[in-house]
Structure 1
Amino acid sequence: MPVSASNGFPGPEGFASPLAWLLAPVTVPAFLDELSGTAPHHIARGRSDYFDRLAGPAVAEQILAALRIDPAAVKLVRGPDHLPPEQYTLADGTVDLARVRAGLDNGYTIVCNNIEKYLRPFSTLTHGLEVELNFPTHVNAYITPPGSTGFLPHYDHHDVLVLQINGDKTWYFYGDEPVPPHLMQQMHEVDPAGLPEPTSLHLAAGDTLYLPRGRVHSAETTAEPSIHLTVGIHVPTVLTLLTHTLHMLSLRDDVVHTRLPARHLDDPDVRESLGALIHGGLMAIEDPDSLAEGLGAMQDFLVRRARCPVVGQVSDTVGIDAETLVRKQQPLYSRVTATGDGVGLQFAQLIVSARGDHETAMRFLAERTEPFRVGDLPGLTTSQQIELTRSLIMSGFLLRAATPPPTEAAPVHT
């Protein structure tokens, strides 16, 4: 099933992707081939305004205002001390911003989780990363007063890109080895008393820090307040793929629903026979169709994470013909999927369905990254091309693109 790879993001022009912007001058290939999953890496820029287009001077107030309706997304933390939500919520269940600011004055870090759900610039960034990497992504914000530490030494279950927005922060790393994934799965807790002496680095405004999963760390501000964002990158594992594949297999094949025999826990002979049953399930998982179904389920999950695009207006569809130039909404992860009586173009929480004779055009749309003319849609009559384009503009998948100015013909000398 084809998947789109359109990359729109809030960074300045001149970067091929949102990840390229976050990592520059480190290239995306260098990051993926040499740095990802290895060790913390500091990208120092000496440009305090680097992230202004994403998060300007008023970003703290914008985030708090957006999250006011959802107290569950806001936490106040000062080392081991976590303020209970009732201490900074109003009677109507919303966040009391005055109490939150008072907590900041008393040394608490304001933690704002999953801000991509509330502010479109951050959802554009995260979805752009998801389109590029195929990894689910989220953004948290941390507003910390001077000379303070938010969380005690801890580790994250996912990779993180730290974006220092305002102020400076000192980061501490404890040991050279990450917590192994099997211990993370057991919710292993860090004992601060048993940690080695940390190494440290200074993160200035405009810098990026890459932190792979499992690395024990903490951070504290200097003499100035700090605002930083963490872009959490949830890299799927073999367990993720196996889980999705098994689930999809369970919907169509009874091999994984075979009943276990009585006394399978206590009878050694019965226990020994279980290997043959397990082997049958593993053989079914190895089938290419089963793997494709598992990957399709992961695609479906990623598609549904996107926020719905801005819906088009009827006026946007007036005057469309075969020469009209259009482009895809960016970023927008999409795929072509079978429906009951045809095919569907799935994106965000929407599916635009059509008859089976539209499949070639749908796949063209899912794979296309550049603007195109309506008449370029393959396998359709002109009226079908126009009808499909109008439907996709109204649903927000397509936008009318500016028509490039005509190229002047060079003078002919005789």
Structure 2
Amino acid sequence: MTVTTSATGHAGDVLAMLIAPLTREQFFAECFERRVHRTHGHHPAVDDLLSMDRIDELISDSELPPNSLSMAKSGESVPPAEYTFDNGIVDRGAVLDNFRDGATIILPQLHYADGKLYQFCLALEREFGARVQTNIYLTPPGSTGFGIHYDDHDVFVIQVAGAKQWEIYGDRDGLPYKGESFRKDHDETGELRDSFVLNPGECLYVPRGTAHRAPNHGTEPSLHITVGILVQTWAEFMLEAVAEASLRIPDLRHSLPRSMFFNSSTAEGAGVADNEATFRRLIRQIAETASFDATRAAFSGNFVRSQGTRTRGALLALAKGIAPDDRFTVREHILYSFETAPVSDGDGEGEDVEHTIVLAGSSIPMSANLAPQLQERIGQGSLAMADFAVEDEEELADIIGTLVAYGLLRP
């Protein structure tokens, strides 16, 4: 199986805003997963991402189902019963009353409801090879949402309005895995290492595992975007490699022996030694059998499939109908992959090759004649059905329509 993943757009411009004045190479070599980095000066692109007026509009006019909003105050979460109705729907008046009383308004995963934030996240996903999310925090003057803590994922903080007094403490011993959240009164935070004010238009990178606190600064409410980088680790890759290799190692299918759990007598000591020998033998078999290419292909395909779709304009194009000369461009920041994989021809004498294009939510098979032409045209960023030389025009029309429906192509 071969995989080619690509995307168009100016993803580097988005990252450049977050890491200025560092280059991409400097950031990944010196800061990523290592140390805090702060940008200085107002970046004008921040003003286009979010505003206090947009938050006011969301709270007053948009649908607010359960879990679309939460609140925190003085380092503790505010019980949902204090700002929701009995059915879980958010009580807008209670939200604003709690805000007036010093509680932070939190809008989790707002990128799913806001096109600009979603496009921003898609651009960063290309840069990090990881899912990206946003949480929005609006903190009233003189308040703080959370106490000293660290996150289990790397974050960029984009200060939109007001200011925050950031306090940077120590690092956890080893980067945390997903789910290894900070435990108050248990995990050490270390000594205060740095303190500074993050002003509107400035950005901050905080690695996972670095303890911090950020109370409001000044007399205005603070509005900031926390951009979470949900990386996948080598541990997850190795687990997938073991799972993939296990399909070709029959001994891994055997059940664990009773002696693995019960060793109440010296007579069973030999069983423990035998089990360890089996363990070592299987480890060697896994090392010899595991396929880097197959594991990488699985990770790549899953990453592409799990990316959210963008379909603005697709409904109008499909309702109108697609003519041979209608030209489409590849939508910015959308990931896709062309894959080829051997498949049995059914008679046991050989293998055929299956060609597919994988994108968010779908895996689309196509003929060997169409696949290389489509890959070339998509790589160029623009196409029309009239550009192709194919025998099966019905297949071409169906594939182009499907790519429009799933958001890879836009009018």
**Shared fold per TM-score greater than 0.5:** yes
Q: Residue 345 of structure 1 corresponds to which residue in structure 2?
A: 357
How far off is 1:342 after superposition? 3.5
Specify whether residues 256 and 365 from structure 1 end up closer, same or farther in structure 2 by C-alpha distance, changes over 3 A only.
farther
Which among 330, 333, 341 is matched to residue 332 of structure 2? 330
Q: Count how many residue pairs are aligned between Structure 1 and Structure 2.
A: 389
- Kept after mapping to 2: 8 A contact 1:142/1:229: yes
CA distance in 1, matches of 2:406, 2:92: 36
CA distance in 1, matches of 2:178, 2:407: 40
Which among 42, 57, 79 is matched to residue 74 of structure 2? 79
CA distance in 1, matches of 2:56, 2:27: 33
Specify whether residues 193 and 244 from structure 1 end up closer, same or farther in structure 2 by C-alpha distance, changes over 3 A only.
closer
Which among 91, 106, 109 is matched to residue 104 of structure 2? 109
How far off is 1:215 after superposition? 0.4
Select between 54-63 and 344-353 the one with higher mean Cα deviation: 54-63
How far off is 1:77 after superposition? 0.8
Q: Residue 216 of structure 1 corresponds to which residue in structure 2?
A: 211
Please give the TM-score of this superposition, normalised by the length of structure 1: 0.82
The 5-angstrom pairing of residues 32-71 of structure 1 reads 32-47=28-43, 49-64=44-59, 68-71=63-66
How far off is 1:202 after superposition? 1.0
**Overall identity of the aligned pairs, in %:** 23
CA distance in 2, matches of 1:205, 1:186: 31
Specify whether residues 46 and 194 from structure 1 end up closer, same or farther in structure 2 by C-alpha distance, changes over 3 A only.
closer
The 5-angstrom pairing of residues 87-98 of structure 1 reads 87-98=82-93
Q: Which amino acid aligns with 2:291?
A: S
The alignment partner of 1:4 has SS state of strand
How far off is 1:347 after superposition? 1.2
Select between 122-131 and 303-312 the one with higher mean Cα deviation: 303-312
- Kept after mapping to 2: 8 A contact 1:375/1:385: no
The 5-angstrom pairing of residues 219-230 of structure 1 reads 219-222=214-217, 223-230=219-226
CA distance in 2, matches of 1:361, 1:283: 43
How far off is 1:187 after superposition? 4.7
Which consecutive unaligned segments of at least 5 residues does structure 1 have? 10-14, 401-414
Q: Residue 183 of structure 2 corresponds to which residue in structure 1?
A: 189
Q: Residue 278 of structure 2 corresponds to which residue in structure 1?
A: 277
CA distance in 2, matches of 1:194, 1:289: 39
Which among 95, 114, 117 is matched to residue 122 of structure 1? 117
- Kept after mapping to 1: 8 A contact 2:340/2:355: yes
- Kept after mapping to 2: 8 A contact 1:164/1:227: yes
CA distance in 1, matches of 2:392, 2:204: 51
Q: Residue 406 of structure 1 corresponds to which residue in structure 2?
A: none
The 5-angstrom pairing of residues 142-291 of structure 1 reads 142-175=137-170, 177-181=171-175, 187=181, 189-191=183-185, 195-222=190-217, 223-250=219-246, 253-265=249-261, 266=263, 267-286=268-287, 290-291=291-292
How far off is 1:204 after superposition? 0.4
CA distance in 2, matches of 1:385, 1:183: 45
How far off is 1:139 after superposition? 0.7
- Kept after mapping to 2: 8 A contact 1:3/1:333: no
CA distance in 1, matches of 2:390, 2:284: 41
Specify whether residues 66 and 180 from structure 1 end up closer, same or farther in structure 2 by C-alpha distance, changes over 3 A only.
farther
Note the alpha carbon deviations across 1:329-382, whole angstroms, 9 max, x for none: 22211223468793322211123222344332454467x2633565666x8458
CA distance in 1, matches of 2:176, 2:48: 39
Note the alpha carbon deviations across 1:101-154, whole angstroms, 9 max, x for none: 111111111122111222222222212211232112111111100011110100
- Kept after mapping to 2: 8 A contact 1:7/1:132: no
Note the alpha carbon deviations across 1:285-327, whole angstroms, 9 max, x for none: 4457633333233223322332223134236654324xx6432
Q: Which amino acid aligns with 1:234?
A: L
CA distance in 1, matches of 2:292, 2:40: 41
- Kept after mapping to 2: 8 A contact 1:64/1:97: yes
Q: Which amino acid aligns with 2:183?
A: E
- Kept after mapping to 1: 8 A contact 2:8/2:331: no
CA distance in 2, matches of 1:279, 1:317: 61
The alignment partner of 1:229 has SS state of strand
Specify whether residues 390 and 74 from structure 1 end up closer, same or farther in structure 2 by C-alpha distance, changes over 3 A only.
closer
Q: Residue 308 of structure 1 corresponds to which residue in structure 2?
A: 309
Specify whether residues 306 and 94 from structure 1 end up closer, same or farther in structure 2 by C-alpha distance, changes over 3 A only.
same
Alignment pair present for 1:297 and 2:309? no
- Kept after mapping to 1: 8 A contact 2:134/2:225: yes
- Kept after mapping to 1: 8 A contact 2:151/2:181: no
Select between 80-89 and 229-238 the one with higher mean Cα deviation: 80-89
Q: Which amino acid aligns with 2:151?
A: D
Q: Which amino acid aligns with 2:279?
A: I
Specify whether residues 376 and 271 from structure 1 end up closer, same or farther in structure 2 by C-alpha distance, changes over 3 A only.
farther
CA distance in 1, matches of 2:61, 2:283: 47
CA distance in 2, matches of 1:325, 1:194: 56
How far off is 1:93 after superposition? 2.9
Q: Which amino acid aligns with 2:243?
A: H
CA distance in 2, matches of 1:299, 1:66: 39
RMSD (Å) for aligned C-alpha atoms: 3.1
Which consecutive unaligned segments of at least 5 residues does structure 2 have? 344-352
- Kept after mapping to 2: 8 A contact 1:145/1:226: yes
